[in-house]
Amino acid sequence: MAEHIIDTAQLKEKAELLHAGDRVILSGTVYTSRDAAHKRIVSILEEGGELPFSLDGACIYYAGPTPAPEGLPIGSCGPTTSGRMDPFAPLLLDNGLAAMIGKGERNEAVCEAVKRNKAVYLCAIGGAGALAAKCVEECEEIAFFDLGCESVKRIKLKNFPLIVGIDCHGGMMFK
């Protein structure tokens, strides 16, 4: 297994170098989004509306961060179970999403969409939200404010440790 130090802006071009089980140290901009926000994003896509952020080359982190304590950009920020986003992920990947961060297995449709779009699914360690938050340098709520912790946030990561769960070659850490 290899280790890769990657900025999110490089995810599309580096995806083919990544293999299931590889370690990735990720820095750069990601967007938090969970079930409710995904449902709205898909509705906007289907209606031809404008998304709150461009999917082209983007990375979505399946997280619902807690409010930031005094002096910090974010509260606990651990991954949520990715399978809940499976109904929405293929459409987002087909519209340019480069990577997803979460925990757990994905369904076959997501695996095929990752391959088809030369994307990547990265896994974060569950149960370590306070530690994950230490990798967040900035956080800004950008959309769906009424969803509270599940609103879409733009966060800037620095040296976030991840494992490649599904690569664009069809490799899967779960099998």
Residues with catalytic annotation? 38
CA-closest candidate to residue 135, choices 122, 148, 119: 122
